[in-house]
Amino acid sequence: MGAGQQVAVYGAYGHTGRFVVAQLRARGFVPVLSGRDAGRLAALARPGDDVRPAAVDDPAALDAALAGVAAVINCAGPFATTAAPLIEAALRAGIPYVDVAAEIEANVDTFAQFADRARAAGTAVVPAMAFYGGLGDLLATAAMGDWTAADEAHVAYGLNSWHPTEGTRIAGVVSRERRGGRRVRFANGRLEYRDDAAPTLEWDFPEPVGTRAVIGEFTMADVVTIPSHLPIPEVRTYMTVEAAGDIASPDTPTPAAVDADGRSDQTFLVEVVIRSGGAERRAVARGQDIYAVTAPLAVEAVARILTGRTRTVGVASAGEIFDAPDFLRALSAHVSVELTR
């Protein structure tokens, strides 16, 4: 448990931020509420909460927001704007930084800009500690087992729907602008930007999802996290056609709560397939609400960093810095996982 340690949540009033704040409280941490909008922070706060507004372009305010806390979780997108200033502030404070960024280029920037400095400072910086990026990386790492390399990693997302938050839509706009409207995939050991249309394929998911049409090369943050530490030259991600249609439509509503925890009725099944030569290994995760499940991922990461249950320092993805099978077992209340080797 958190034993009363303070953890700053930047973007605490956002959809994912609220789940993170609730999960921190449930784990015994004391959330420090921060973000750009003082009014929204005040509306979220309970009596006695520590509320610290701070703009990302105000280093002094960020330093004040992180003063005395044990760690910071950045839930505020677009991460192309917020990640670097928050990491800089975390490095000045000497505390670990975790974010939930799904933006591919923002995660690439974090590895490129801060790897040396974070390592030299002995500070953990964990980007994409979320449903996209973190979970797929943990599953791929656990599936790899004793393999030291593989030929291909495939991450297939069986979402029954995807009602995006306002933050997801804004991040998507930023990513498209950075790519000049092109799409991206990871092939031949590097990111490739392409102008052609992504293929539509079929994926045989485990039951109850079954065979579904998917958008191939529907590229998510896994193409940054997985190859950051696993020598796999081909990393492909796939998304069910229905979910891809939801996220593409401007008319799709935001998530609606259906239970006391605030989760939506969205369900997910993530299947990871690792291939090496003629051999194949798989991992499957099932759960409810991709935004809600991000909270235990991020909070478990902070808990492990603060108790020394890590394998490295510096900028590192989930599968590199944590014991992947053990981490996944710790999520059993939120995600069910099966490994096939």
- pLDDT of 3 over the 80 cut: no
Instruction: State the pLDDT at residue 55.
Output: 98
Q: 91-144 pLDDT, tens per residue?
A: 999 999 999 999 999 999 999 999 999 999 999 999 999 999 999 999 999 999
| C-alpha closest to that of 97 among 109, 112, 114, 81 | 114
Q: 69-89 pLDDT, tens per residue?
A: 999 999 999 999 999 999 999
- In degrees rounded to 5, what are phi and psi of residue 90? -65, -40
Provide the 10 A C-beta neighbour count for residue 278: 6
Instruction: State the pLDDT at residue 316.
Output: 98
Indicate the pLDDT class of residue 37, thresholds 50, 70 and 90: very high
C-beta of residue 75 within 8 angstroms of C-beta of residue 171: no
How far are the Cα atoms of 18, 42, 132, 221, 318 from residue 312, in angstroms, in the given order?
29, 37, 22, 21, 11
- Where do the domains of the chain lie, and which CATH numbers do they carry? 6-130+294-325 (3.40.50.720), 132-293+336-340 (3.30.360)
What's 308's DSSP letter? Answer: T
- pLDDT of 36 over the 70 cut: yes
Q: Minimum mean pLDDT among 1-15, 192-206, 235-249, 318-332: which range?
A: 1-15
Indicate the pLDDT class of residue 1, thresholds 50, 70 and 90: low
Query: For residue 260, what are the contacts with CB-CB under 8 A and spacing of at least 6?
Result: none
Mean pLDDT computed over 134-160: 98
